Structure 1
């Protein structure tokens, strides 16, 4: 009899935990999506709830705001999005709020302000602090003529450009002086899958150590576009590394020339011709 009572008790506890704790992330995501649906200033969103074990769950959210909002209106929206009461049901919430701003060429770029709430919070969410951060993000975009999007994550900033990613990398380095919260890694990327180039580095790294990639790419014949190239000094890498993937059918002499140039520059290169 005692064993039966104990088993029933444990089953009841398991059901309670499953309903109230283990699925906290999913429940938060469902409720937060309903909240976002009711906001006129939100045009798109992505909410991912995580049912972490043990604990209260967590969530990662991207929110895209409508165009034409003032900095004060954006700051108010970010504060409200970050302070929505439902997030008290989870341990932490990573929130990236996107809005449009002109880049250095006057074209619109989609940029983000990042906030983490709950356990181990990041970013002052007062109206004054948020308005200041929004201004700093706009100022960053205004230094990069090719910027199309600045994505913000828990510890990473990623700039997407249709121009030179080294220009974007330099702009990111300057933006770090404003101390965006939590940033440890940065990437500037150009192109799309099938023709992608990226510069990745840690906060405090010198972009200059990655610039030999420019000279390596300059050795390629006109019109030959790599499938992918990557200049990287991101942890756990402790010195700059360089990778180039060439398209199928590339003359092996091109690959040999690329490797010879890397040797002359004294930089490590992993290069190949796709099969």
Structure 2
């Protein structure tokens, strides 16, 4: 029994209890030394003794060439701290013109750790940077696009359907393991969202436009959503109208939805 206790004690003391947070602290120190990094946020998670994960957001400074961006992403992705983690999800953001020439913030996602999702060779990353720039140039209202392990999410000042179309096209290029797409316009209190699976159809979600067209010009929805994203197995449509909306307006949009054969859930906020 005494021998067993000594062995267990050795195993416990030989591993790091806070692998994720210690990795984050080391990684932040490294990012702070880079002249090409404008901002960063590293979050470490301690799963089990000796095991952890981390999520990192890095904003590169403006004015870098595609080659410089690709080299920076490669070096940042390949950097290893003394403390190891199982998964490290890295999103690197750059600023690039959108379809109207305004600046948009877009990201390239890299997952490092036990199984890198894609090549971190600078040449491969340069291609991905060029693809994400080309994507941004197709969306005139794009404000921001952020990528994660399975998601592409866009925020636009314009039509979320146009942004969803652009995301679908982009997802067919080099983004790895993308499963879900989402485009949103507006802000809390006046938000429109189009969301679908990467192999889904934006066209199946377009009837929401006809429903919104039934609203009077002076009625702005608090929130609307058209989705076919898992676990939904058929398109769903939601509309929340502001408090005080005339019930006749609600009746009109419900009638429009019924005529279109659209399963709309519509309410007036209290």
**TM-score, L = length of structure 2:** 0.95
Contact 2:228 2:235 in 1 (8 A): yes
Alignment of 1:86-105 (within 5 A): 86=81, 89-105=84-100
Q: 1:181 to 1:87 in 2, by over 3 A?
A: farther
1:61-86 per-residue CA deviation (whole Å, 9 max, x = no partner) reads 11001000000000000001100011
Residue ranges of structure 2 left out of the alignment (5+ in a row): none
Gaps of 5+ in 1: none
- Mapped to 1, the partners of 2:252 and 2:212 lie a distance apart of 11
Rounded Cα–Cα distance in structure 1 between residues aligned with 2:187 and 2:37: 27
| Alignment partner of 2:249 out of 248, 254, 257 | 254
1:144 counterpart residue number: 139
* Cα distance change of structure 1 residues 55 and 15 upon mapping to structure 2, 3 Å threshold: closer
Give the one of 119, 123, 126 matched to 1:128: 123
* Cα shift at 1:88: 6.7
In the alignment of these two chains, the number of paired residues is: 270
Structure 2 residue 201 is matched with structure 1 residue 203: no
Is the 1:241–1:268 Cα contact (8 Å) retained in structure 2? yes
Please point out which of 225, 233, 238 is paired with 1:238. Answer: 233
8 A contact 1:41–1:66 mirrored in 2 = yes
TM-score normalised per structure 1: 0.94
Q: Is the Cα–Cα contact under 8 Å of residues 55 and 91 in structure 1 kept in the other structure? A: no
Match of 1:14 in 2: 12
In the alignment, the residues of structure 1 paired with residue 23 and residue 229 of structure 2 have an alpha-carbon distance, to the nearest angstrom, of 33
Structure 1 stretch 172-181 or stretch 49-58: which is displaced more?
49-58
If each structure's helix is expressed as a fraction of its own residues, which one has the higher value?
1
Cα contact 1:87–1:93 (8 A) shared by 2: no
- Which residue of the other structure, out of 42, 50, 73, is the alignment partner of 1:47? 42
Q: CA deviation at 1:8?
A: 6.0
Contact 1:88–1:118 (8 Å) recurs in 2: no
Q: Cα distance, 1:263 vs. partner?
A: 0.9
State whether residues 82 and 95 of structure 1, in contact with CA within 8 Å, keep that contact through their aligned partners in structure 2. yes
Separation of aligned partners in 2, 1:199 and 1:55: 41
Distance 2:182 2:44 in 1: 25
Q: Residue 184 of structure 1: which of 157, 169, 179 is its match?
A: 179
